[in-house]
Structure 1
Amino acid sequence: MNTQAKPPSFPPQRPPGGWKLPAVLPITWKKPFEWLWMGLKDMGHSPWLSLMHGLVLALGGGLITWLAHDRFWLLAGAVSGFLVVAPVLATSLYAMSRAIERKEPVNFGLLIQTWTRWQTQRFNEPASYWCLVRFGVLLGLAGTGWVMTSSALITLLTPEPVQTPMDFIHHVVLSQEHHVFELWLVLGGLLAAPVFASSVVAMPLLLDRKLNTLQAVLISWKTALTHPLPMALWALLIMGLSLFGVLMLFVGLVLVVPILGHASWHAYRDLVDTSDLAERTPSQGTL
């Protein structure tokens, strides 16, 4: 009989009942406001590093608008994809909040490490840092799907062609002859809800714990379904602040992005019981 012990592997072998999702911690409906306050405090810890993230996204949004200002669907697609992928772009903000929580140094080197460490990982390793990249691709595809669906809806139901942002305002938003705008908002909400449920804690979770993308998404869904009202409030706050930042000609994103990024870390920490989840550590070649 071969009694040689088998080497450990990751992810661990599934127990008879399958992989068990971690517990979701109890919260009150007021928690989203506390997350924003904690995000503001984290931003104050290293303001220049935090605001740099917002500045990069604001410049990116401004560049998109400048390049596609007279082509509505290109502009809508770029901005939608930009906002959907924003949780991925905020990864180093999560790393900063984690370092603050652990009383570790928060400096530019931390940001460099966060954005370069994934390149040293094997792409096929189930719980490697590549999971962050894969999830970002999925979010980008979700944004593309929304723009294609939106374009098809308005093209089919609007009698006038919509080619520019002003066409959209005149023929869809301000039109009194049909209810395309209301239908467009409902459809957007229906498509945005599963994206939010899939990502509400997934990105900071993938940064912090050794999980693959599917596991992180399942935990995120469990979180959203366990606390539907606080999560709905959190989604409204994120949407409202992001819309404010965009309507301020993207300048508002300089402040909004770091607050939401840091706050999202605290949301993850307050929502998910990570005591049984393996931690990513630099000694293992991951973050």
Structure 2
Amino acid sequence: MPNRFTEQALRESRSFGVRRIPALRPLGWLARGWHDLMACPLPGLLHGLVLAGFGALLFWKARHQFWWLAGAFSGFLLVAPVLATGLYAVSRAIERGERADLHTVIDAWVPRDHRLVTFGLLLALAGTGWVLTSAALITGALPGQVNRPADFIRLVVLADHGLLFEAWLALGALLAAPVFASSVMTLPLLMDSRVGVLGAVFTSWRAVLEHPVPMALWAMLVLLLTGLGMATAMLGLVIVLPWLAHASWHAYSDLLQASALSRK
């Protein structure tokens, strides 16, 4: 039986209607996100520079310690969307025909409640859980130790026998899917409404479950663009991260229709 807290979250989630969208709509989100980045580039580029620089610093500090590196990057990739919350506010302002600049970003971060921080901590815990589970799988199945990224590539990725790498990828996908479903719409929804964290998560799950094909495409696009950004020695993330943040706002705005009582 659901408790009172869960029932309240379900009622909050039901105050949002989920619009039907075609399978290729995520491509439109990218196009609109790019438009926002070009219309107001300074906040996005500053976010991208800071986040890409932090990612490069993590890689440099932990390049010889594989599990610390994996944990740092997992946490970084999960928490980075929280740090880009101000860019959702920029896209919202552009969408409403309002002025959008650095003040828009700063106003979005004025501490009014702790919902974004709470959700960011939950995402960080999810990243930690993935690293611990991944480490248990690899270290339990291998006779040798994986201490450096080179060890992982040699003993797991390039191993000529067994299915450890395939099992590792499958486990990652299994754990990533619920995290994606829980977070894909939650951050812009928390910024744009008075809904609680659990109510926002339930709404995000509804959007994903009612649109499995377009949301799977969106997940692949996010993964591909992030991977390309990281493959360019993090330089590509300067553009990719704010681009995806703006596009994420349009995913939220396109999918969800809130009641007047739920919006700020």
Match of 1:124 in 2: none
Mark the runs of 5 or more structure 2 residues left unpaired by the alignment.
none
- Which of 47, 54, 60 aligns to 2:48? It is 54
Partner residue of 1:226?
Answer: 210
What does residue 183 of structure 1 align with? 167
Residue in 2 that maps onto 1:33: 27
Amino acid at match of 1:48: L
Matching residue of 1:158: 142
Give 1:134's aligned residue: 118
**Contact 2:90–2:100, Cα closer than 8 Å, also in 1:** yes
Q: For the structure 1 residues 20 and 167, does the alpha-carbon distance in structure 2 shift closer, same or farther, using more than 3 Å as the test?
A: closer
1:203–1:19 Cα change, 3 Å: closer
Please report how far the alpha carbon of residue 85 of structure 1 lies from its aligned counterpart in structure 2 after TM superposition: 1.1
Q: Distance in 2 between matches of 1:197 and 1:247?
A: 25
Measured in 1, the distance between the counterparts of 2:39 and 2:166 equals: 42
Q: Quick one: which amino acid aligns to residue 89 of structure 2? A: A
1:164-203 alignment runs, 5 A limit: 164-203=148-187
Structure 1 residues 239 and 20: CA distance shift in structure 2, 3 A? closer
What TM-score comes out, normalization by structure 2 length?
0.94
Aligned residues: 257
2:146 aligned with 1:146: no
Report the structure number with the largest CA radius of gyration.
1
Q: How does 1:85-96 map to 2 (within 5 A)?
A: 85-96=79-90
C-alpha displacement at 1:20, in angstroms? Answer: 5.5
Structure 2 partner of 1:126: none
Residue 65 of structure 2 corresponds to 71
Distance 1:90 1:67 in 2: 24
Tell me the TM-score normalized by structure 1: 0.86
Moved over 6 A (4+): none
Residues 13 and 199 in structure 2, CA contact (< 8 A), matched pair in contact too: no
Question: What do the CA deviations read for 1:194-237 (whole angstroms, capped 9, x no partner)?
Answer: 00000110000000011110000000000000001111110010
The secondary structure found in structure 1 opposite 2:159 is coil
Q: 1:108-127 alignment to 2 at 5 Å?
A: 108-115=102-109, 117-118=110-111, 121=112
How much is the aligned-residue C-alpha RMSD, in angstroms?
A: 1.6
Shift of 1:277: 4.2
Deviation at 1:257, TM superposition (A): 0.5
Q: Which residue does the alignment assign to 1:104? A: 98
